[in-house]
Structure 1
Amino acid sequence: MRFALDSSQQDFASSIDALLSKSDMPAVIRSWNRGDTEPGRKVWQRLAETGINGLLIGEEHDGLGADAVDLVVAVEQLGRHAVPGPVAETIAVAPHLLAQAAPGRLSALAEGSLATVATPPHVPSAVDADTADLVLLVENSSLHLGDPGVVQDSVDQSRRLFPVTAGQRLGAVECAPAFDLGALATAAQLQGLGHTLLEMTTDYAKQRKQFGKVIGQFQAIKHHLAEVAVGLEMSRPLLHGAALSVRDGSPNAPRDVSAAKVACGDAAYRAARVALQVHGAIGYTQEHDLSLWLTKVRALVTAWGTPSFHRGRVVDSLVGAS
């Protein structure tokens, strides 16, 4: 199986990276954390103009009609820059659900609206329901408009969680493929977050001095960073392989998505732990940009299915096939 991205996908990733690199994302995230979502919404609008919101929306509804591989390419870049807001929900989950039950709402999503989704039991709360233009709830194979409750605490201040109760019923849906898309998009975010943490930590290790030497020259630091790099490179084929399985409608897609979610989550978590160790006490402070990436990794590791759930799915699939 060939995992190399084609030139158009690489160019798409580069254009997203360039757009977000000019957006002062740490300032945008901090504003979002304080409840001022206007800078973040402006970033989302610029992203929508590149077609990201409409990746999985058909051309008849003003989308790009792309596939799961294009999805992970784009969302990994959003992870690299820790873009706040309901990323997986807006780009991956809501389009799939609305296409089944309320296709008339897809054009607004493609044009830049934000959507959030709760799919109990594995996704019991809707992210940023106070900011999203559309709040959805899947209950008993039915898609409903959701009514948000009282905000709940999250380890990541840019991910406000809301319990949701069912409102107007939009129609019947098959939720399992949408859940897999949410887990796949979250895995892509984690992959991107891990790479930025590795880059931030490597840059810091090249500057920070102890005992008259930059700490990046110490063998122990090199080993830690090498382990992070290996973990991220080993998780990438699983991520792309899962995207191919979803794109091709493989019966093994749920297993492959779970494997990617576990691998990308573990790699990003290792990157976060090593980043904190190398940065030392400064890494604990909210004033340092590192904290914005650390907390998002911690939150996304359990989003759209916990590691234990996804490991269980992989084991069940392998046992069933034996």
Structure 2
Amino acid sequence: MRFDLDQDQRDFAASIDAALGAADVPGAVRAWSQGDAEPGRRVWNQLTELGVTALAVPEEFDGIGADPVDVVLAIEALGRWCVPGPVVESIAVAPILLAGSPDGGSQLAGLAAGELIATVALPPHTPRAVDADHADLVLLAENGTASIAQAGTRHASVDPSRGIFDVAATGASWDSETGRAYEMGALSTAAQLVGAGQAMLNIAVDYAKQRTQFGRVIGGYQAIKHKLADVHIALELARPLVYGAAISVSQDSPEASRDVSAAKVAASDAALLAAHSALQTHGAIGFTSECDLSLWLLRVQALRPAWGDPTAHRRRVLEAI
């Protein structure tokens, strides 16, 4: 099967890049880490204007009802720009869980309009909710049911812009497609990792073209060229797995779980390679808080175990074959 994005999808991704490129997203991430969500909310408002927050919301609730491929396309772009907040949970997962709620219509409309940001805990692989302190809606889902929840104890994260919280149900539960929600959470996290990996590769390439050592730019050395070329290859191999898995999910393929896990493993490995290579290209300065690269380095470390770590997803692939 040959898969390629059409022109409308490319234009949509370009519009997200243009909007986020004009915003101070690194500044919003740093503010989010310090507990100030206002700059991040402004970034989310821009996403709402582009229709990103409405993608997975059904049309009857003022959403777009987009295909999983379009959702993944958008979230990859958000990963490229390191957008703060529960991106995967609010945009890709919450609409699935709320679809079965008897009172979910207004909440779905709120998500589409950007009035609500949601976060989700879905044990056992996602036992805690990300950014529950900044979210307007917290959901707890497990074994085919979901319920409204509230945040409890906050736990430390390797990425200070991603607080993780225990949650407890506060009301009645309803039947929900928790299996599909989990697949979309894992798949969207894979897309976010691919986007982050691409961003780090771009940052490293730009730095290698400018940094000089022994009288020449470091990008001229074969060791640097080969290292960054390996990252490019890894990302180019991971990206079609992500989009192929999105097609499997959209078609309710019996192999969807296998495809999602394969995509999550490939994206996790590619993003980790990108992080290592970008840091080695920059040297120690790359991990300082003043360097924007550090934001992506920490984000990747937090996203790799999110929605199932690579070991769990490798196990699912092995079991499937």
Fold agreement, TM-score > 0.5: yes
* Equivalent residue, structure 2, for 1:307: 310
RMSD over aligned Cα atoms: 0.9
* Equivalent residue, structure 1, for 2:256: 253
Question: Deviation above 3 Å: which 4+ runs of structure 1?
Answer: none
Amino acid at match of 1:58: P
Measure, in 1, the Cα distance between the counterparts of 2:18 and 2:158.
28
Contact kept? 1:142, 1:169, Cα under 8 Å? no
Note the C-alpha offset of 1:170.
3.6
**Deviations for 1:23-63, whole angstroms, at most 9, x for unmatched residues?**
11111111111111001011101211211111111111000
**Deviations for 1:49-105, whole angstroms, at most 9, x for unmatched residues?**
211111111111000010100011111100000000000100111000101224312
* Equivalent residue, structure 1, for 2:7: 7
- What is the TM-score when the length of structure 1 is the normalising length? 0.97
Note the C-alpha offset of 1:179.
0.2
* Equivalent residue, structure 2, for 1:161: 164
- What is the TM-score when the length of structure 2 is the normalising length? 0.97
1:291 to 289, 294, 297: 294
Measure, in 2, the Cα distance between the counterparts of 1:248 and 1:227.
33
Measure, in 1, the Cα distance between the counterparts of 2:243 and 2:217.
36
1:195 to 198, 220, 227: 198
Note the C-alpha offset of 1:242.
0.3
For residue 171 of structure 1, give the secondary structure of its aligned residue in structure 2: strand
**Deviations for 1:297-319, whole angstroms, at most 9, x for unmatched residues?**
0100110000000000000000x
Aligned residues: 318
Identity of aligned residues (%): 57
Contact kept? 2:139, 2:147, Cα under 8 Å? yes
Note closer, same or farther for the CA distance 1:15–1:267 as it changes in structure 2 (3 Å cut): same
Measure, in 2, the Cα distance between the counterparts of 1:207 and 1:46.
32
Contact kept? 1:205, 1:214, Cα under 8 Å? yes
Measure, in 2, the Cα distance between the counterparts of 1:209 and 1:157.
32
1:35 equivalenced with 2:35 (yes/no): yes
Q: Can you give the 5+ residue segments of structure 1 that lack an aligned partner in the other structure?
A: none
* Equivalent residue, structure 1, for 2:181: 178
Measure, in 2, the Cα distance between the counterparts of 1:47 and 1:308.
33
After superposing the two structures, state which structure 1 stretch, 170-179 or 270-279, moved more: 170-179
Contact kept? 1:258, 1:314, Cα under 8 Å? yes
Amino acid at match of 1:28: A
Counting only pairs closer than 5 Å after superposition, residues 1-322 of structure 1 correspond to structure 2 as 1-102=1-102, 103-104=104-105, 105-112=107-114, 113-318=116-321
Note the C-alpha offset of 1:210.
1.1
Q: Can you give the 5+ residue segments of structure 2 that lack an aligned partner in the other structure?
A: none
Note the C-alpha offset of 1:140.
4.0
Measure, in 2, the Cα distance between the counterparts of 1:235 and 1:142.
32
Measure, in 2, the Cα distance between the counterparts of 1:180 and 1:297.
19
Measure, in 2, the Cα distance between the counterparts of 1:229 and 1:199.
10
Measure, in 1, the Cα distance between the counterparts of 2:244 and 2:287.
35
For residue 153 of structure 2, give the secondary structure of its aligned residue in structure 1: coil
